[in-house]
Amino acid sequence: MGRTTSRAATRRSRWLGLAAAVGALALLSGCGDDEKNVSAAERDPAIYSTVLREMVLAEIPPTGAADGDDSGALPILYVSGADGESVAVDVQAEVVKNLKDEAEIRFVDVPEDALVTDDESDGSGDGGEGDGSGNGGTTVSTTVGDEPVQDDGVLTIFGPLPEDGTTVQVDVEIYRNSADDRMYVVTLAGSQAKWVIRSVEPVG
């Protein structure tokens, strides 16, 4: 529990610094845009889906690439907002729909809910079976001390999405385990359901 609490505190500190960086960049880059209001119900799922597809799924080897893989299994992506920011249920449903043929998307209330902790496993790495809830079991391919994501998944944490604009900047953290934890400022351009990533700036 202590390790998880410490990691949560560290994450909050990192996110505060990242939010400040994004705010400064927004002042520099957002003023000249021809901005217009777009529907959050259309826009937000498209932004989440674009980042997950282009930044997270693009790094995952094709299904069945390794011997013994289940050719029917999809990558598991956990998704969370930062610092208790919740993702609206209708937005979650659209993201799941958008990526249904590419990944199994699981939204969690807080990032720590997606992690394997000392309380959940004895560190044997044998993994567990699903509980029938659709959330899967706890399959571990690395040591528990590395605090990996459950079910060999990847956790993506999103900062708040801007309310409007045809060019937006979003804080994104991609977490696999304590040794592979990266933060970015991602700039996207588009409107409504069509967005493209314009730039990705590593932070830290």
Q: Quick check: helix, strand or coil at residue 181?
A: strand
Residue environment code for 14-51, b if the CB has 16+ CB neighbours within 10 A, otherwise e: bbeebbebbeeebeeebeeeeeeebeeeebbbbbbbbb
Confidence of residue 11 (pLDDT cuts 50, 70, 90): low
pLDDT higher than threshold 50 for residue 154? yes
Instruction: Give the pLDDT score at 137.
Output: 44
Mean pLDDT of the chain: 78
Residue with tokens 């690395």: 142
Instruction: Give the pLDDT score at 84.
Output: 76
pTM attached to this predicted model: 0.72
